[in-house]
Amino acid sequence: MQSGTLMGLITLILMLVFIGIVAWTYLWHKPADFDRVARLPLQEDEPLESADQRSRS
């Protein structure tokens, strides 16, 4: 096998892997999941005392 053919096959495999990851990310996840994760940085953190008290209960 020539090196050009091998490099072409590797490129094809990597492109298919990339397309598969993009499809898996955008087609099989619900938009609600993305919306929920997008709001995470805007949420207030819980005070440490209240979280500690709940874990003891």
Rounded to whole angstroms, the Cα distance separating 23 from 27 reads: 5
Q: What is the per-residue pLDDT across 30-50, written as a single tens digit (0 to 9) for each?
A: 778 878 888 888 887 776 665
Q: Is the entire prediction scored with pTM above 0.95?
A: no
Rounded to whole angstroms, the Cα distance separating 46 from 39 reads: 15
In this prediction, residue 56 has a pLDDT band, given cuts at 50, 70 and 90, of low
Task: Please determine, for residue 8, whether its predicted confidence score (pLDDT) is greater than 90.
Answer: yes
Mapping DSSP onto H, E and C, the string for 20-55 reads HHHHHHHHCCCHHHHHHHHHHHHCCCCCHHHHHHHH
